[in-house]
Chains A and B, each alone.
Chain A
Amino acid sequence: MTANVWKVQVAVGDTVQEGDTVVILEAMKMEIPVEAEDAGTVAEIRCAEGGAVEEGDVLLVLE
């Protein structure tokens, strides 16, 4: 699935809990919240607001 990155809700260094919404994608006029699969610290953000992503792409890296 191709989607646009609508909002990145975290910054590098932020701590997140499992289930926190970290990125909001947009496709077919719908918002698709992406939740953290684990708790951790945001080490790297690999997508940018306004950019397009494909199914399977890594959006951000948690440590």
Chain B
Amino acid sequence: MSIRRVLVANRGEIAVRVIRACRTLGLETVAVHSDADADAVFVRLADRSVRLGPPPPAESYLRLDAVLDAARQTGADAIHPGYGFLSERPELAEACDAAGIAFVGPPASAMRLLGSKLAARELAIGHGVPVAPGSGPVRDVAAARQAARELGYPLIVKPSAGGGGIGMKVLEGDDDVEAAVTSAMKAAAAAFGDDTLYVERYVRAPRHVEVQLLCDAHGGRVHLGERECSIQRRHQKLLEESPSPAVWPELRARMGDAALRLAAAAGYVNAGTAEFMLDGEEFYFLEVNARLQVEHPVTEAVTGIDIVAAQLAVAAGEPLRITQEDVRLEGHAIEFRINAENAAKRFLPSPKAVTAWEPPTGEGVRLDSGVEAGSAVPPFYDSLLAKLVVHGPDRATAIERAAEALAAFHVEGPVTTIPYHRAVLESDDFRAGRLSTHFVDEHPELRERAAELLA
């Protein structure tokens, strides 16, 4: 199937990113937008645009029918879902198939299989991919107690249909089980319409390390190395880098092979990411994100591979043009999420219009931005304004370049995470690569330093 006109079913920086990739490839673009985004950068950049509805996501970006209507109306022959919103809804992939539209993402069957964390865990176990010791489905307090007797504490309760940290609770002992399981079931039912849980051995201070995959529809599969995404707040990543300071070539090969085995077993096609916890030399599978990820540019920087262009080629039925031997990681790249959030005030959102926006330039500096001076920052969507990606020949140089770039980045209007990132770069632990997913909580002084830098 050849692709000529791509509808981008997303907003903000990722819509801009996909539209730019399409333009480079000579493809026409269609933006879809809510009323809150009528004047947004991505709408202006696209060749055509279609209004979806009012600002709330449920009335606009999450409306599958409206997105499909827009595709039919504009003669789009492909839909790129970006991340979030409809990106991991198998129904969209199925509807595209039925309408003869190329879905730029994995098949619905792979999404369904991997969307259940329990099913993905079973698949991993069946294919020799390490997982943290855990239980089968847990649907009541008694089952959780039984699992705890077999596994021992500490444990973590997770919703099977989960994501984003919703409903996850740590169990330190028997006294925690009843309250944690009851509240996790409630949270899971409300967020995912499915209250099935499972429990897993809790790893106290893991790193979050993930492997980027690219798979075509002809059995071609490569991994593009790993990203370290340990610096998170509320289970959401803030800063990502590639390669991970904790991964060496032999471990990279083992994690990459594990991720590729999972992709093959799931019938995975297109770009995807296998997420792992890394604890010393041991890694444990967490989940597969069946879509393009926010942090894909760090991998692009070190591999020189345009992941969005590759996604479009795969969606058009083309085979990958590279083999595993062609993939080389060169230098080091760090991505900083520029969020409209105040780190000094517990990362509270700051949805204010952008009155000044002067991004840095320089060697190895890339900015993926959804905003410019004068842009509105609506409160209805997530807080990500832009991503600053800095590449250097090694980690120390990337850090130096990033420190300069962040210091030169001038924004007025919303409070942003720029001062926090500057504080992180000053931190001895960060510089030494001593990271875990508790980094943000364990370094409260960085939030104070961010407040000083903001003043």
Interface residues of A (CB under 8 A from B): 1-4, 27-30, 32
Contact = CB atoms under 8 A, between A and B. Distances in A.
A29 to B, nearest CB: 5
12 contacts: A1-B349, A2-B351, A2-B379, A3-B349, A28-B341, A28-B349, A28-B379, A28-B381, A28-B382, A30-B347, A30-B349, A32-B349
Secondary structure type dominating chain B contacts: loop
Interface in B336-353: 340-341, 347-352
A28 B351 CA distance: 7
Contact of A1 (B352, B380, B382): B352
Contact of B234 (A1, A3, A27, A30): A30
Interface string B227-247: 000000010000000000000
A10 B383 CA distance: 28
Interface string B331-371: 00000000011000001111110000000000000000000
A4 B55 CA distance: 13
B234 A28 contact: no
Nearest to A2: B379
Nearest to B340: A28
Contacts of A3: 349, 379
Nearest to A26: B379
A11 B341 CA distance: 30
Given A1-B349, A27-B351, A30-B383, 13 more contacts: A1-B379, A3-B349, A27-B349, A28-B341, A28-B351, A28-B382, A28-B383, A29-B382, A29-B383, A30-B234, A30-B347, A30-B348, A32-B349
Secondary structure type dominating chain A contacts: strand
A32 B348 contact: yes
A29 B380 CA distance: 7
Nearest to A27: B379
Q: 3 closest A-B pairs (Cβ-Cβ)? A: A28-B349, A27-B379, A28-B383
Contacts of A29: 381-383
Contacts of B382: 28-29
Contacts of B381: 28-29
Nearest to B384: A28
A1 B351 contact: yes
Residue among B341, B348, B383 with max Cβ neighbours from chain A (10 Å): B348
Contacts of B350: 1
Nearest to A4: B379
Interface string B380-423: 11110000000000000000000000000000000000000000
B192 to A, nearest CB: 16
B437 to A, nearest CB: 18
Residue among B234, B349, B380, B383 with max Cβ neighbours from chain A (10 Å): B349
Nearest to B377: A28
Residue among A2, A4, A29 with max Cβ neighbours from chain B (10 Å): A29
Nearest to A33: B346
A30 to B, nearest CB: 5
A4 B56 CA distance: 11
B54 to A, nearest CB: 13
A21 B140 CA distance: 29
A1 B341 CA distance: 12
B422 to A, nearest CB: 22
Residue among A2, A3, A30 with max Cβ neighbours from chain B (10 Å): A30
Residue among B347, B352, B379, B382 with max Cβ neighbours from chain A (10 Å): B379
Contacts of A27: 349, 351, 379
A2 B347 CA distance: 16
A27 B414 CA distance: 14
Contacts of A4: 379
A28 B417 CA distance: 14
B36 to A, nearest CB: 11
Contacts of A32: 348-349
Contacts of A30: 234, 347-349, 383
